[in-house]
Amino acid sequence: MTMRRMPKSSPLPSLSIRIDLDTGERIGPGKIQLLEHIRSCGSISAAGRAMKMSYKRAWDLVDDINRICKRTVVERWEGGKNGGGAMLTPFGASLIARYRKIEGSVGRAVRKELRALRAEIGI
């Protein structure tokens, strides 16, 4: 008896979520990914390197996020003998969780339409 393999379906097109705030500011996948890297690396500069961005760009984005949220998202401390570092505040961790929850909810809501799009454009 031979078993027939079902053809593998190609992955669905991806969806990126960017939240446009009333102030004209935005929180999107890049800022959230930077926060996730800061959480895992314990450093703004290491997080920037992980995303192939300059140290200055990473710092500027952290300052933007803090300003946009009007709350501290990342706490940092200056170097010394053991170097500096950074960590997310509880609010920063909550911001990531909420963004990822929104992203997941939207993804589930549009899954059927993404499948239809994939079929229509033959990807």
What's the confidence (pLDDT) of residue 43? 93
Whether residue 72 is predicted with pLDDT greater than 60 in this model: the reply is: yes
User: What pLDDT, in 10s, does the model give residues 87-108?
Assistant: 999 999 999 999 999 999 998 9
The arithmetic mean of pLDDT across residues 24-38, rounded, is 96
Two tokens at 46? Answer: 């290491």
Whether residue 71 is predicted with pLDDT greater than 60 in this model: the reply is: yes
Whether residue 54 is predicted with pLDDT greater than 70 in this model: the reply is: yes
Whether residue 113 is predicted with pLDDT greater than 70 in this model: the reply is: yes
Which domains are present in the chain? 27-75+83-121 (1.10.10.10)
The arithmetic mean of pLDDT across residues 18-43, rounded, is 95
pTM: 0.83
What's the confidence (pLDDT) of residue 80? 59
